[in-house]
Amino acid sequence: MILYLKDVTEKRKMEAQLLHSGKLAAIGEMAAGIAHELNSPLTAILGNSQLLLRNKEKDDPSYPLLNDIKNCGDRCKRIIKSLLTFSRQDEYIFGSFSLNDGINQVLNLLRYQLEKNEIMITLKLDEDLPEIEGSQQQIEQIIINLILNARDALELADKTKKEITIITSQQEDEVQLIIKDNGIGIEDNRLSEIFHPFHTTKEAEKGTGLGLSVSFGIANAHGGTLEVSSTVKTGSTFTLRLPLPLSQELEVGG
Ligand SMILES: Nc1ncnc2c1ncn2[C@@H]1O[C@H](COP(=O)(O)OP(=O)(O)OP(=O)(O)O)[C@@H](O)[C@H]1O
Ligand SMILES: [Mg+2]
């Protein structure tokens, strides 16, 4: 008889942490409830404003007002989506995947936008990077957040060469992703604040201030960390670390 045993202690621990983080779970549940409640009235606001906009000329005095309603509706929708992710009530699938694939997937989506902003991407992906366990969709969301933040920081920077560098590597029992930009950077006294929900320096239409707090939550739920180092006017570096799975296959003969 051959018996295969897989140590799932770490996975269980992670799940427990995910489900029972006390206060946070309660807030998360409430947020999810509110988000669901808000979804249907929002559909009416967005749908109706779009319908009305369609029959208006751009120089109609009510056009900018309706447009405002639609834009604010869109913004609410984005916030709701982030809240659902934050409280982890939206669907996601756990599995094994390569972080490099996640990065390439995200770049397929964002490449055009980055080229439009004349941003140069340097990729240094470790080809032998082992797979990690988790939700590829959620990890991709972290990568999107970090790249879009870098783009925004570069847009405001006064640099002739705008660069984003993406590096993956294995460090002992974890994989590491570094996303580095030479944008405006972050003041020292704000470094701890940027991970707080709703902390943003962007205009209302541009940012909700949820990107990094959601990313931080996802990293933690995967047993990992998300850290920043930054110098004003020089640029910022975000480092995501995710643990490698502890799958010890034990063979017991008998
Ligand atoms: N790469 C970066 N360079 C400079 N500042 C940054 C960078 N990343 C984040 N920040 C600062 O941290 C703040 C919070 O970032 P976060 O991603 O949480 O929210 P946001 O980008 O403002 O809005 P959202 O991501 O919800 O659209 C930003 O408003 C910005 O001030
Ligand atoms: Mg952001």
| Ion ligand 2 nearby residues (CB, 5 A) | 149, 211
Residues 110 and 105: their CA atoms lie apart, in Å, by 9
pLDDT given for residue 141 in this prediction: 87
> What is the rounded average pLDDT of the residues 178-198?
94
Rounded to 5°, angle at Cα 97 from 92 and 98 = 135
pLDDT value at residue 253? 42
* Nearest ligand by distance to the CA of 237: 1
Rounded CA separation 150/248 (Å): 38
What the block records as the tokens of 49 is 């404003």
- Are domains 9-86 and 95-243 of this chain identical in fold? no
* Ligand 2 centroid from CA 91, angstroms: 21
> Could you report the per-residue pLDDT of 29-68, keeping only the tens digit for each?
777 788 888 888 999 999 999 999 999 999 999 999 999 9
Comparing 247 with 149, which gets the higher pLDDT? 149
Q: Which CATH number fits domain 9-86: 1.10.287, 1.20.120, 2.60.40, 1.10.1060?
A: 1.10.287
Q: Which of 194, 199, 208 to mutate to test the pocket of ligand 1 (most atoms within 8 A of CB)?
A: 194
b/e for 218-252, b at 16 or more Cβ within 10 A? bbbbbbbebeeebeeeebbbbbbbbbbbeeeeeee
Q: What is the pLDDT of residue 15?
A: 63
200: confidence class by pLDDT, cuts 50, 70, 90: very high
The pLDDT score that the predictor gives to residue 27 is 66
Tens of pLDDT, residue by residue over 62-101, are 999 999 999 999 888 877 877 776 666 556 678 999 999 9
Q: Which sequence spans correspond to the domains of the chain? A: 9-86, 95-243
**Above 50 in pLDDT, residue 249?**
no
Ligand 2 centroid distance, CA of 193 (Å): 13
**Distance (Å) of CA 186 to CA 75, 129, 189, 190, 193:** 25, 30, 8, 7, 10
pLDDT of residue 79: 79
CATH number of 95-243: 3.30.565.10
Question: Is pLDDT larger for residue 19 or for residue 84?
Answer: 84
CA-nearest residue for atom 8, ligand 1, is: 149
- Tell if the pTM clears 0.75, that is, is over it: no
